[in-house]
Every structure is written in C-alpha cells, then in structure tokens.
Amino acid sequence: MQVIKKIDELREILKPYRKEGKTIGLIPTMGFLHKGHASLIKKAVEHNDIVVVSDFVNPIQFGPNEDLEAYPRDIEADSKLCEEIGADFIFNPDPSEMYHDKKAFVDIEGLSDNLCGAKRPGHFRGVCTVCTKLFNIVGPDRAYFGQKDAQQLAIIKKLVLDLNIPVEIIPVPIVREDDGLAMSSRNTYLNKEERKAALCLSKAIFEGKKMAADGYEVDRVLDKMTEIIKAESLAKIDYISAVNLETIEDVKTFNQDTLVALAVYIGKTKLIDNFIYRV
C-alpha cells in the first residue's frame, strides 16, 4: 500500500493497470478514517482490482466559520487501516497540489438548495469541484459514498449523469456504533456528556423510520422526531426534513422514495443522520 502526494505520479502509476483492463475503485474521503469509511473500502476491494482512497481535507467545502483547521487528521492511522483492508493506494495531496491561485469550480442547481446545502452556502460547490477533479485524476470505474451523507450522494449521482462522467456511483449503508450513533469523524469532538446526548439523533431516526413503516404521515413523523431531539437539553436542531430522495425537494406524503434527514448541534458539534422510506 502506497501513499501518493502528486497528481502526475498517481496518473502514471494507474496507467498500466488501466491498459491491462483492470477495474479501479475510488473512495473519496477527508481522512481520519473510521469503520464507516472501512465499509466503503471493503466494498471497493470486493468489486475492483485496484482501490484508491483519497485522503484530502478539502478546503473549499468549508465555510468561513467552519472547522477547517480543527478538522481531525491522522494519515498514519489512515494508512494502517487502508493497508489492513486491502486498498492499494492513498492519494494524500496538499491543497496547493489540488488548487491553484485561480480556481475553476463545478456547481449544481436545485439539489443543493435544501437541507445542509441551505445552511452551508458554497459547501456542495466545493464537494462537486473536488469530486470532479478526483474523477478526472483517478479515472475510476466505480466510486463509493456513504448513505449518511445522503444529500451529497444525490448530488454526486446527478453530477456524473449531467456531466457524462463514466463512473458508477455505489452507495454504502450507514455504519453505526453499538449504541446506534452514526459513525462520523466529528464524533471525536464530543465530550463524554455530549456523546451520550448525541444518541437522541439515532433514537429519533429509529422512531421516525418505524412510524413511517407503520403508515404515519410525514408531519406526524417529523413532529415525533422533533419532540425526541428537543427532550435532550444539549441538542439544538438545525433541521429535520422529509424530501424526495432524488430531487431533495420537500414532501408532504410518503408516496415516493423519501429521505428523512436531520442535522443537530450537540454543543458546538453538528451531526447528521437519516433514513430512507421506499415505496
């Protein structure tokens, strides 16, 4: 397993594999890898001959008051995890390698106007830009994204469709801790009390999913989820919404594939979670 810092070096290394007809899987990450990332890597190893994990904290998807400098990084631990699972390469460029003084951006309309996109202007422009660059650099046959970031997943699917990028996007289910909390690099920000309080997210998700399956309407489901979150004194709701899974537009009934998503601050840490209701 090799860590590569330069774009040209990675391209040259991958050329012979591509000529031999070997398949390449890509897992775009911001590093500080956990079991959720591990599930993406395992899936990629199962599906492909060569697996590349990008390990890059992308500065252009952070807003002015967000946690770019504080975002956790540990390339040594990331390398160990990738090697144990069977990844072949980690792409760990410096920001100056990925971006120059004058930047070209890739943006998407509509799908980024709701949920996290509404709260973080420019965030998904940064995501679309870096993913487009990674697709161009690596040239993967398949790319793997976690369902926890469901809006991002919908946007990336639309991106590759509209820009005719020849990569198959593979969604991978949410991985949870034993107590139900969705795995996230930001969980490390939580102190002991906040970590316990954060369980209100998964509690709300599990109850909402059960109610939707039992035939309750959207408003009743969202009201109950809101009630559960508000019962936790350390929690502050950013949003709790039900949207069309593909268009990310608000819905009032469960008569289409629906994403029910929430974002909640536990102390100063913003966490997200979701479930999908399918017709």
Catalytic positions are 37
d(CA 267, CA 256): 35
| Structural tokens at position 217 | 């309407």
Asked whether 218 and 251 are in contact (CB, 8 A), the reply is yes
Q: Report CA torsion sign: 68, 58, 192, 79.
A: negative
Paired sense of beta strands 2-4 and 24-29, if any: unpaired
Closest CA to 155 of 75, 66, 222, 61: 61
Q: Report CA torsion sign: 165, 17, 75, 202.
A: positive
CA 215, distance to chain mean position in Å, is 29
Q: Which residues, including other chains, have CB under 8 Å from residue 164's CB and lie 6 or more apart?
A: none
Q: Report CA torsion sign: 205, 209, 210, 214.
A: positive
d(CA 72, CA 267): 18
Asked whether 106 and 130 are in contact (CB, 8 A), the reply is no
Secondary structure class of 52 (helix, strand, coil): strand
How many CB atoms are closer than 10 A to CB 44? 28
| Structural tokens at position 259 | 């994403």
| Structural tokens at position 212 | 């939707």
Q: How many CA atoms lie within 13 A of 65 on its CB side?
A: 6
